[in-house]
């Protein structure tokens, strides 16, 4: 554990949460998978494991995006930057990491439109450019997944150790166990369903934290009290680089540097993480755009309000006996390890706060890790195994390889995390370093789906050249700034800023140069449409069902495909304008006037700032907590009815399936409607009008 602070909870609580709750989720997903198979005729084919049948609605897509983007770093790192830089930190973090999700909505639509049968974005790269660019992007994609997974496990284990005293290595190896279990059983569908549960619980706990700090706490209890304590904190230890040393201003030099690093690094971890493409692929065509926009806007409130609450509470309560490091300030190592949030929670709510923090960190780590497991397994299965080793692999073999990949990757990440722990590499270091390593592939990846002129040499070479430039810029700046190459120096703001910016922007130079040298391509997009689905007839045959009758197994007719393409073209136009406006608002119109004027928040302004955050988190709870239940109400009601009939003996499973088949036979697709407008279960009970 960082520092010398005694843990708020005993080790038994840590092991209970990590093992017990992990086992509970695993058993829950096994039960859900059994129910879906028994009553909704779902079969775990290779397509279902990796794409969830391509029928997920916008509410669940939104909650899956929120859960996948809510890493341990989202909660821990955002609170840390708030502790360091004041009110600017949460907004820099939230706005600098929301725009990528919003902009990715456009790529999600383009992927659905250009390659409707793809399993990974890397399949699209190979279909367009061939083997060399495919291998280059596969390496960058896997590096992205590895960095994200390491951040999750390293950050989560450090927090569990700090709160319970559970040994860090034990936490590292035990955290993925339950996740692996339910991912093996349910695949991407299980991941998306657990994403919703995690998001629901997470939002409730954040609401409790915020209302405690700003309404009911005996120590704080109002924005006014927090404001007064922040003024005292600034007088005692002013923030270097902040306007007048205040914690209550957006003008923060170091905060602005972090803002740039945050934006650059997060482009890589969204645009190159196959997990986000998995969600786009899993979404039904009409729900991809609203799902990503909903997810992005709902996610914004999580780091903004969490950090505004817990980061500022940490600053306000440091001089109170309830704070774990009292009477000292938090050591910088503890801040970098992400311990501001747990320390503030202990000061606010005692052991209850520690338990709540342990729960949300566990939720954040396990849900995002599940997404990473499916992302990596789909790359291994479809981009490595089916492409280069066994192209004729059956559906059963693809499922087996998916399971092997999930288990092997979990073991690899846990072992790698142990090495980082011994080397003293924290979650904070990994967070700011990831952009240096991966961001040079962002622009080529985006152009692969949006610009027909990108040639294969520009696609293959610009990421590699960009990585070389980024590494040189990072390490040379570190040597110039500090005169040494230590972890502390290379992890400081200026070297990381140089490396991140060089990585993201160097392809802006390399791509035009390589286009001039090798010529502009004139791609017709046809090879992407030729990507095929996995052949799951052997799996369906063993189960004694018709592949066309199970969710996700039906091939669409030409007319249905044309109608889907029309809707996706319309969604593409909407997404480009909508995401541009939202990006402009979050990056320029909101923060920059406050930064430029150097305004120091007044007490009424700070109160309004907090109130807006609390209102926003309630809207987020409605959007990704309650809306998915409302959206899936027909399926939920029908499934509960089938379970009741089965338990009471009113109808057996064969009779239930016969009823579903009878209704399915009466379905007609009305004018302007495509299969993507409804989930298979809904379509099966809609009668002729």
> What is the per-residue pLDDT across 57-96, written as a single tens digit (0 to 9) for each?
888 888 888 888 887 778 888 999 999 999 999 999 999 8
pLDDT at 168 over 80: yes
Query: What pLDDT does 230 receive?
Result: 94
Query: What pLDDT does 684 receive?
Result: 42
Query: What pLDDT does 50 receive?
Result: 56
Question: What is d(CA 233, CA 246) in angstroms, rounded to the nearest whole number?
Answer: 9
How much is the average pLDDT of 116-139? 91
CA 655 to chain centroid = 41
How much is the average pLDDT of 138-152? 91
How much is the average pLDDT of 140-156? 89
* Residues 536, 537, 543, 544, Cα dihedral to 10°: 160
Query: What pLDDT does 56 receive?
Result: 78
C-alpha distances out from residue 626 to 71, 297, 364, Å: 21, 15, 19
Question: What is d(CA 190, CA 26) in angstroms, rounded to the nearest whole number?
Answer: 9
Say how many Å lie between the first and final Cα of the chain, rounded: 65
Question: What is d(CA 679, CA 677) in angstroms, rounded to the nearest whole number?
Answer: 7
**Which of 485-489, 526-530, 548-552, 604-608 comes out lowest in average pLDDT?**
548-552
pLDDT at 680 over 50: no
pLDDT tens-digit readout, 554-565? 566 677 777 777
Residues paired with 600 in a beta bridge:
249
Q: What confidence tier does 324 reach under pLDDT thresholds 50, 70, 90?
A: confident
Query: How many CB atoms lie under 10 A from the CB of residue 526?
Result: 10
pLDDT at 606 over 90: yes
Question: What is d(CA 398, CA 536) in angstroms, rounded to the nearest whole number?
Answer: 9
**Which of 69-83, 544-558, 671-685 comes out lowest in average pLDDT?**
671-685
pLDDT tens-digit readout, 245-279? 999 999 999 899 889 888 888 888 888 988 888 88
Query: What pLDDT does 513 receive?
Result: 95
Query: What pLDDT does 21 receive?
Result: 87
pLDDT at 661 over 80: no
pLDDT at 609 over 50: yes
pLDDT at 538 over 60: no
How much is the average pLDDT of 107-126? 86
Question: What is d(CA 214, CA 198) in angstroms, rounded to the nearest whole number?
Answer: 24
Question: What is d(CA 625, CA 198) in angstroms, rounded to the nearest whole number?
Answer: 10
CB 65 within 8 A of CB 299: yes
pLDDT at 173 over 90: yes
Q: What percent of the chain has pLDDT over 70?
A: 89
Q: What percent of the chain has pLDDT over 90?
A: 39
Mean pLDDT across the chain: 84
Q: What confidence tier does 530 reach under pLDDT thresholds 50, 70, 90?
A: confident
**Which of 478-482, 486-490, 494-498, 515-519 comes out lowest in average pLDDT?**
486-490
pLDDT at 674 over 60: no
Q: What confidence tier does 416 reach under pLDDT thresholds 50, 70, 90?
A: very high
How much is the average pLDDT of 489-516? 92
pLDDT tens-digit readout, 569-589? 888 888 888 888 988 999 999
Query: What pLDDT does 1 receive?
Result: 40
CB 203 within 8 A of CB 617: yes
Local structure of residue 248 (DSSP, 8 states): S
Three-state DSSP class for residue 134: helix
Question: What is d(CA 188, CA 489) in angstroms, rounded to the nearest whole number?
Answer: 40
Cα angle 529, 371, 133; round to 5: 45
CB 490 within 8 A of CB 559: no
pLDDT tens-digit readout, 429-461? 887 888 899 999 999 999 998 899 999 999 999
Query: What pLDDT does 669 receive?
Result: 41
Three-state DSSP class for residue 128: helix
Q: What confidence tier does 618 reach under pLDDT thresholds 50, 70, 90?
A: very high
């Amino acid at each position: 554990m960082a520092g010398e602070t005694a843990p708020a909870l005993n080790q038994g609580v840590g092991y209970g949460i990590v093992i017990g709750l992990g086992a509970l989720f695993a058993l829950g997903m096994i039960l859900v998978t059994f129910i879906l198979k028994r009553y909704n005729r779902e079969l775990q084919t290779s397509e279902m494991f990796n794409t969830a049948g391509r029928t997920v609605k916008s509410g669940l897509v939104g909650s899956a995006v929120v859960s996948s983007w809510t890493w341990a770093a989202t909660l821990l790192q955002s609170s840390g930057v708030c502790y360091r830089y004041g009110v600017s930190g949460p907004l820099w973090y939230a706005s600098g990491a929301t725009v990528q999700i919003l902009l990715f909505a456009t790529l999600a639509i383009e992927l659905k439109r250009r390659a409707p049968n793809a399993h990974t974005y890397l399949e699209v790269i190979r279909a367009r450019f061939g083997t060399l660019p495919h291998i280059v992007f596969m390496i960058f994609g896997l590096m992205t997944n590895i960095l994200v997974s390491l951040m999750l496990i390293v950050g989560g284990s450090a927090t569990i150790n700090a709160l319970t005293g559970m040994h860090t290595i034990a936490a590292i190896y035990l955290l993925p166990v339950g996740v692996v279990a339910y991912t093996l059983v349910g695949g991407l569908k299980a991941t998306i369903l657990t994403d919703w549960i995690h998001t629901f619980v997470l939002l409730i706990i954040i609401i409790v934290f915020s209302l405690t700090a700003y309404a009911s706490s005996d120590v704080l209890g109002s924005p006014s009290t927090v404001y007064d304590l922040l003024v005292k904190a600034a007088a005692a230890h002013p923030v270097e680089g902040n306007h007048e040393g205040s914690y209550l201003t957006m003008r923060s030099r170091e905060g602005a540097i972090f803002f740039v690093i945050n934006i650059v690094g997060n482009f890589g971890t969204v645009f190159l993480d196959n997990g986000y493409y998995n969600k786009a692929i899993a979404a039904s065509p009409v729900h991809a755009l609203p799902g990503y926009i909903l997810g992005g806007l709902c996610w914004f409130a999580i780091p903004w309000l969490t950090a505004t609450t817990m980061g500022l509470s940490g600053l306000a309560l440091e001089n109170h006996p309830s704070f774990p490091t009292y009477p000292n300030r938090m050591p910088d190592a503890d801040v970098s390890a992400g311990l501001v949030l747990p320390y503030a929670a202990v000061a606010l709510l005692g052991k209850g706060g520690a338990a709540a923090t342990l729960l949300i960190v566990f939720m954040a780590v396990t849900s995002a890790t599940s997404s990473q497991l499916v992302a990596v397994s789909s790359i291994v299965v479809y981009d490595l195994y089916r492409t280069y080793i066994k192209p004729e692999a059956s559906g059963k073999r693809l499922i087996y390889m998916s399971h092997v990949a999930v288990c092997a990757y979990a073991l690899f990440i846990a072992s790698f995390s142990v090495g980082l722990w011994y080397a003293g590499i924290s979650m904070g270091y990994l967070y700011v370093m990831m952009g240096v390593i991966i961001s040079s592939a962002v622009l080529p990846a985006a152009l692969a789906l949006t610009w027909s002129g990108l040639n294969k040499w520009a696609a293959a070479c610009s990421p590699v050249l960009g990585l070389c430039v980024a590494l040189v810029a990072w390490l040379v700046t570190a040597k110039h700034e500090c005169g040494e190459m230590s972890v502390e120096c290379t992890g400081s703001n200026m070297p990381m800023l140089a490396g991140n910016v060089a990585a993201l922007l160097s392809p802006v130079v390399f791509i035009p140069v390589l286009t001039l040298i090798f010529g502009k391509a004139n791609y017709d997009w046809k090879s992407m449409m030729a990507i095929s689905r996995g052949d799951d007839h052997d799996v369906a045959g063993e189960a004694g069902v018709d592949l066309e009758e199970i969710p996700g197994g039906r091939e669409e007719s030409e007319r249905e495909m044309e109608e889907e393409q029309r809707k996706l073209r319309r969604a593409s136009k909407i997404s480009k304008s909508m995401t541009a406006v939202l990006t402009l608002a979050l990056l320029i119109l909101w923060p920059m006037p406050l930064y430029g004027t150097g305004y120091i928040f007044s007490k009424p302004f700070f109160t309004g700032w907090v109130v807006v955050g609390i209102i926003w988190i309630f809207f987020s709870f409605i959007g990704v907590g309650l809306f998915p239940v409302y959206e899936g109400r027909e399926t939920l009601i029908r499934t509960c009815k089938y379970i009741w009939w089965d338990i009471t003996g009113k109808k057996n499973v064969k009779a239930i399936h016969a009823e579903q088949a009878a209704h399915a036979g009466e379905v007609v697709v009305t004018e302007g409607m495509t299969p993507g407008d409804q989930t298979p279960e809904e379509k099966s009970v809609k009668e002729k009008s």
